[in-house]
Amino acid sequence: MSPTPDDVDVFFTDRLHLEDDALRAARDRAHEAGLPDIAVTPGHGALLALLAQVTGARRVLEVGTLGGYSTIWLARTVGPTGRVTSLEIDPHHAEVARACVDAAGVGDRVEIVVGRALDTLPAVEGPLDLVFVDADKENNAAYVRAALELTRPGAVVVVDNVVREGRVADDTDDSPTVRGIREVVDLVAADPRLDTATALQTVDRKGWDGLLLARVTG
């Protein structure tokens, strides 16, 4: 039998030592609490950490906390003097995430804000070095527009889940989710504050999807 994307995920996670006890515990806690199994993979968590490292990120905004798995990756990277602000609409998700980041030893550098992100985002303190958008896709463009008001030149914006099994390129798909993805792609292409934009397709245990990435010019 040929290897599956899940097998490849396991291969790289094991060989590159991408997941430690604290990250595994966070994933297990989220599962036991009944959260959906939609957190980033270990490989994507490491990619977020790498982006934060190369930008020298100390202030990070995450839109969509879920169980705090990606939050732990980012909080570890910003260091003890850094700050990750994570916006989560679901109080139960936020409660689980708080327990996870505290157990991972990075709770002191993480602020989890409960509420509708479009309402709470304007109060986020900038300037931001990295923005990770992983929430409801219908509002992707609105999240990025608001975040751009808070970013510094050289910051990086990452939007998750922009391929959706190829649906983004299906002209017959006019669902709210796909419309939201196309809107944020068009925004990134047109906004003069962003350059060096690209989209990367990914295939892993979560299926065929991808990331949109762009750099803030100023």
Count of positions (residues) in the chain: 218
**What's 103's DSSP letter?**
H
Q: What does pLDDT average to over the chain?
A: 96
If one counts the domains in the chain, the total is 1
Sign of CA dihedral 27, 141, 85, 17: positive
**Entry pTM:** 0.96
Q: What is the CATH number of the domain that holds 13?
A: 3.40.50.150
Tokens 């060096």 identify what position? Answer: 196
User: 17's torsion region: left (phi>0), alpha (psi -120 to 50) or beta?
Assistant: left
pLDDT at residue 218 tops 90: no
Quote the domain boundaries for residue 57.
Answer: 5-216
pLDDT at residue 125 tops 70: yes
For 139, phi then psi, to 5°, come to -105, 15
pLDDT class of 205 with cuts at 50, 70, 90: confident
Nearest to 89 by CA among 47, 125, 134: 134
